[in-house]
């Protein structure tokens, strides 16, 4: 019946053609037609009609054939909504048969005509009649004998003569392409790339420009920029006597596009066509507002534009391209900001494995901190330090890391752990240091004591063997690979300034050390949103007084030990305030369980006993007495602050003395002090009372006035529920979504890595909630906290400082909930700035 025929639209400047109905290629071709470029006659089939074709009926293609000259050869190409979703390969030279072969022999010569016919028979046989490619293996040469052989092979294998009727050929080809799109493999592949279940396919049928024959003939691609750098440069390939994408086959001997002393060029071969090509490319850039790669064919010196596709590009080139388009007035700055995927920025902030580099994968884990680095395997912090002292880059390989490993992490080029997830110690510190890190690499065997690491396929690696950690993909690679350097140039700065102009939520950094703070400032963070002070104690000269403090027998001894720590803390804060140049600095009081600071190894315990001049047995007994069944829910955070108040007293004093010093030396600061792990209002009252007393004492002693702000970390479910009470005593509430996620799910941050991938695979969780904020469950707690906090104290400053903070989804959530700022690892600050800008646009 007539209504079953495909709906055929000739592409003209005004025909109705849209990406959601006819696909991107059809839409793009229409744009080229509108620009009056020499595009061969093209018709488009809509998604709906291709879908019908797949269901099996034989289309009447007369309506299509009527649109073309009766002796034209045709090609069919896929046109899906997004070119990344793939689609069946193009089929060229449709309509070729014995009669046309005879005609073409006259027109373009026997060799070219026979070559075209041979190719078509083979393509048709393989893609449409589904014959094995090998059946043609015996056929050599391009002469009449080969042609006769190919036709007879076809007939034998397909059990029918090669179809001579162009209408039959075209109908079968359309049907088979439509079916290929609906096949299970194709469907799964495109869904993996984000295509919806019902993604449609359009097809375009275009008159062939031959590319084979007499005069200058050939085909190729051309673009105006370099795909790696994004800088203006005519690049592409051209191959004489070729069709389709043959010129792109790296094995083929393409010629230069522009004049080149090294060999023949298209510019010399077909100067007019080349000049026109360059003009067309420039016109396309201006009018399509994008860098396009042109697919073209030259037939007897005459240029045909077959298609245009968005230029492929590295992250670095992508940035350069949009900034140049905006600077040339082709797109707006806002468009430029919208066109870069925030995640792609992190590729620019770190070294990356070059796309062209082969990868010998030893195993994979969770991509916990982006970037890539190569180094020799070391299994202990000490070995890492020794390696650094020799000037040899190393990769620290541990079962998991603990505060004792900080020294090793500081000097390592990358970190690999067997256990842990996105918020494990190694992951958090790795991101903070900008150190490539793969955690939870359970596909490999870690035998730390025996100093071996076994790859997923059984290869045994030893200390000193070289590996590469790709923290962006989660892969562990053998040996060294080719890398691309990080790149923060003027283009990057210009681009980010455009983003900042749009942004309406603050972005601060989580920074613990002077190095972090410098990175934060470098990436234009608007202050420090979380300084985890415990990380300041992992330096060897700090660890000993800390341990003395922990081992103190009474408050007096403890105070004496803290006296030793005080000047160091004060110096830390002075330095942080100086680096941040008056930007806000939010300091979190001591949070982790004390026992994390104690040595776990026998030799470490012996060393500590020597340093403290007490028997080893005393040390082990004390360590045992501090052990907890569940330290994450034990004596940490404000609980420690209340039970051993001298620690917070010392920290408050260090902060205030540093403030007085900074104010005097010309970097005035209003420090923010944050109390961790609060679950009850009374906790805040107690801590606040002591801090006020310390402030008063310092004011008197120093005879100087200063201000500060006190805030609470909301990271227990109860603190969210009671945020109204708690906000009464505080200037700000900072939501710690790491602990909040842990406690909302009852899911250990440090152990979830073991089963997380299984959970995600089976769809229990859509994503790792430590990685992507669970806006439903944890989000509801946040919303309650915000609502209750704000109604008790309308001007309370709200922020989020968990690892989620850099993600677009969490930033969107925070904007909607009315947060003032997000705070994330320094290296993710640019990513968050861009994501926030895009949300505001
Ligand atoms: C949090 O819990 O979200 C947080 C930022 O603190 P930490 O990761 O140090 O526990
Ligand atoms: Mg926390």
Between CA 699 and CA 694 the distance in angstroms is 9
Alpha-carbon distances, residue 346 vs 82, 363, 490, 839 (angstroms): 24, 23, 16, 18
- Cβ neighbours of residue 54 closer than 8 Å, sequence gap 6 or more: 175, 178, 179, 181, 182
The two structure tokens encoding residue 600: 């776990």
CA distances for 227 relative to 292, 535, 789, angstroms: 11, 42, 50
In tens, the pLDDT along 57-90 reads 778 899 999 999 998 999 999 999 998 898 899 9
Query: Catalytic site residue 425?
Result: yes
Of 670, 671, 663, nearest to 702 by C-alpha is 663
pLDDT at residue 79, as a whole number: 96
Token look-up 């007495």 returns 625
Ligand nearest to the CA of 535: 1
Tell me the ipTM for this assembly.
0.99
> Which atom of ligand 1 approaches the CA of 735 most closely?
3
Kindly report, residue by residue over 776-820, the tens digit of the pLDDT. Answer: 999 999 999 999 999 999 999 999 999 899 899 999 999 999 999
Q: Is the CB of 529 under 6 A from ligand 1?
A: no
Q: What is the 3-state secondary structure (H, E, C) of 120-150?
A: HHHHHHHHHCCCCHHHHCCCCCCCHHHHHHH
User: Any idea what DSSP says for residue 341?
Assistant: -
Answer yes or no: 729 catalytic. no
What pLDDT is attached to residue 2? 41
Name the active-site residue from 101, 280, 304, 425. 425
Coil/strand/helix, residue 484: strand
Instruction: Kindly give the parts of the chain with pLDDT less than 70.
Output: 1-5, 250-251
Q: What are phi and psi of 756, to 5 degrees?
A: -60, -45
pLDDT at 250: 66
Q: Does residue 506 line the site of ligand 1, with CB under 6 A?
A: no
C-beta of 737 in contact with ligand 1 (< 6 A)? yes
Q: Is 738 touching ligand 1 by the criterion CB < 6 Å?
A: yes
Atom 9, ligand 1: residue with shortest CA distance: 532
pLDDT for residue 143: 86
Go through the domains of the chain in sequence order and give each one's CATH number: 2-207 (3.30.1490.20), 218-313 (3.30.470.20), 351-484 (3.50.30.10), 503-593+628-840 (3.20.20.60)
Nearest CA to ligand 1 atom 4: 736
Helix segments in 234-332, DSSP class H: 266-269, 271-288, 315-327
Q: Is 736 in the pocket of ligand 1 (CB under 6 A)?
A: yes
pLDDT given at position 673? 98
Distance CA 395, CA 30 (A): 53
Q: Per DSSP, what are the bridge partners of residue 67?
A: none
Measured CA to CA, the distance from residue 557 to residue 709 in angstroms comes to 30
**Ligand (nearest to CA of 534):** 1
- d(CA 663, CA 713) in angstroms, rounded, equals 26
Query: Model's pTM, two decimal places?
Result: 0.82
d(CA 495, CA 479): 36
Can you read off the two tokens belonging to residue 13? 């400047």
Q: Ligand 2: distance of its center to the CA of 646 in Å? A: 21
Q: Is the CB of 510 under 6 A from ligand 1?
A: no
CA of 636 to the centre of ligand 2 (A): 10
Per annotation, catalytic residue among 586, 720, 801, 824: 801
CA separation for the pair 86, 84 (Å, rounded): 5
Q: CA 26, 30, 33: angle at the middle one, nearest 5?
A: 140
**What integer pLDDT is reported at residue 684 of this predicted model?**
97
């Amino acid at each position: 019946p007539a209504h079953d025929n495909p709906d055929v639209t000739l592409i003209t400047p005004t025909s109705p053609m849209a990406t959601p109905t006819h696909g991107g290629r059809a839409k793009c071709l229409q744009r080229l037609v509108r620009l009056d470029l020499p595009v061969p006659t093209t018709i488009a089939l809509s998604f709906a009609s291709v879908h019908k074709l797949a269901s099996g009926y034989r289309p009447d293609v007369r309506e299509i054939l009527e649109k073309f000259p009766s002796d034209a050869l045709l090609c069919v190409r896929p046109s899906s909504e997004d070119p990344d979703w793939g689609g069946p390969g193009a089929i060229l030279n449709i309509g070729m048969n014995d009669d046309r072969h005879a005609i073409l022999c006259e027109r373009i010569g026997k060799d070219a005509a026979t070559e075209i016919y041979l190719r078509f028979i083979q393509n048709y046989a393989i893609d449409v009649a589904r014959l094995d490619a090998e059946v043609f293996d015996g056929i050599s040469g391009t002469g009449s004998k080969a042609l006769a052989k190919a036709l007879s092979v076809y007939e034998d294998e397909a059990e029918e003569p090669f179809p001579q009727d162009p209408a039959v050929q075209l109908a079968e080809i359309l049907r088979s392409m439509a079916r290929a799109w609906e096949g299970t493999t194709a469907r799964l592949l495109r869904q993996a790339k984000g295509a919806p279940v019902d993604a449609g396919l359009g097809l375009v049928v275009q008159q062939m420009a031959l590319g084979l024959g007499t005069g200058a003939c050939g085909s190729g691609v051309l673009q105006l920029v370099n795909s790696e750098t994004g800088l203006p440069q005519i690049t592409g390939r051209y191959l004489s006597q070729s069709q389709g994408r043959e010129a792109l086959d790296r094995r083929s001997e393409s010629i230069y596009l522009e004049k080149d002393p090294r060999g023949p060029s298209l510019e010399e071969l077909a100067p007019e066509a080349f000049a026109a090509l360059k003009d067309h490319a420039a016109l396309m850039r201006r009018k399509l507002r994008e860098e396009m790669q042109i697919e073209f064919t030259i037939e007897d010196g005459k240029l045909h534009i077959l298609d245009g596709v968005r230029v492929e590009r590295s992250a670095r080139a992508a940035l350069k391209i949009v900034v140049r388009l905006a600077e040339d007035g082709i797109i707006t700055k806002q468009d430029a900001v919208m066109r870069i995927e925030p995640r792609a920025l992190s590729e620019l902030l770190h070294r990356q494995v070059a796309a062209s580099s082969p990868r010998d994968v030893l195993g994979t884990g969770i991509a916990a901190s982006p970037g890539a680095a190569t180094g020799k395997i070391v299994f202990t912090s000490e070995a890492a330090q020794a390696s650094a002292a020799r000037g040899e880059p190393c990769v620290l390989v541990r079962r998991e890391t603990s505060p004792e490993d900080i020294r090793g992490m500081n000097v390592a080029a990358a970190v690999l752990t067997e256990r842990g997830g996105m918020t494990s110690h190694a992951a958090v510190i790795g991101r903070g240091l900008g150190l490539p890190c793969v955690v939870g690499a359970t596909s490999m065997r870690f035998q730390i004591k025996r100093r071996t690491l076994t790859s997923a396929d059984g290869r045994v690696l030893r200390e000193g063997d070289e590996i590469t950690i790709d923290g962006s993909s989660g892969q562990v690679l053998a040996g060294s690979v080719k890398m691309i350097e990080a790149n923060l140039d003027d283009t990057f700065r210009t681009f980010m300034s455009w983003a900042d102009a749009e942004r309406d939520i603050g972005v601060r950094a989580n920074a613990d050390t002077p190095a972090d703070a410098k990175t934060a400032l470098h990436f234009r963070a608007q202050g420090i949103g979380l300084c985890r002070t415990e990380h300041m104690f992992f330096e060897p000269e700090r660890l000993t007084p800390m341990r003395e403090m922990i081992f103190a027998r009474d408050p007096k001894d403890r105070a004496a030990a803290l006296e030793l720590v005080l000047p160091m803390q004060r110096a830390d804060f002075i330095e942080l305030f100086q680096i941040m140049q008056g930007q806000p600095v939010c300091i979190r009081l001591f949070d982790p369980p004390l026992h994390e600071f104690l040595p776990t190894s026998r030799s470490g315990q012996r060393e500590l006993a020597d340093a403290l001049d007490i028997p080893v047995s005393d040390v082990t007994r004390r360590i045992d007495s501090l052990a907890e069944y569940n330290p994450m829910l034990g004596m940490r955070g404000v609980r420690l602050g209340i039970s051993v108040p001298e620690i917070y007293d010392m920290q408050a004093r260090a902060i205030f003395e540093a403030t007085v010093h900074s104010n005097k030396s010309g970097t005035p600061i209003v420090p923010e002090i944050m109390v961790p792990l609060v679950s009850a209002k009374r906790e805040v009252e107690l801590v606040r009372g002591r801090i006020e007393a310390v402030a008063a004492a310092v004011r008197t002693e120093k005879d100087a006035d200063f201000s500060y702000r006190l805030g609470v970390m909301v990271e227990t479910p109860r603190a969210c529920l009671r945020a109204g009470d708690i906000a009464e005593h505080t200037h700000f509430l900072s939501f710690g979504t790491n602990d909040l996620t842990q406690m909302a799910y009852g899911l250990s941050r440090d152990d979830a890595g073991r089963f997380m991938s299984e959970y995600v695979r089976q769809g229990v969780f859509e994503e790792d909630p430590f990685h992507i904020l669970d806006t439903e469950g944890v989000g509801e707690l946040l919303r309650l906290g915000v609502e209750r906090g704000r109604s008790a104290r309308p001007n309370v400053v709200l922020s989020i400082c968990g690892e989620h903070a850099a993600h677009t989804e969490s930033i969107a959530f925070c904007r909607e909930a009315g947060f003032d700022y997000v705070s994330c690892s320094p290296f993710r600050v640019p990513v968050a700035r861009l994501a926030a800008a895009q949300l505001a646009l």
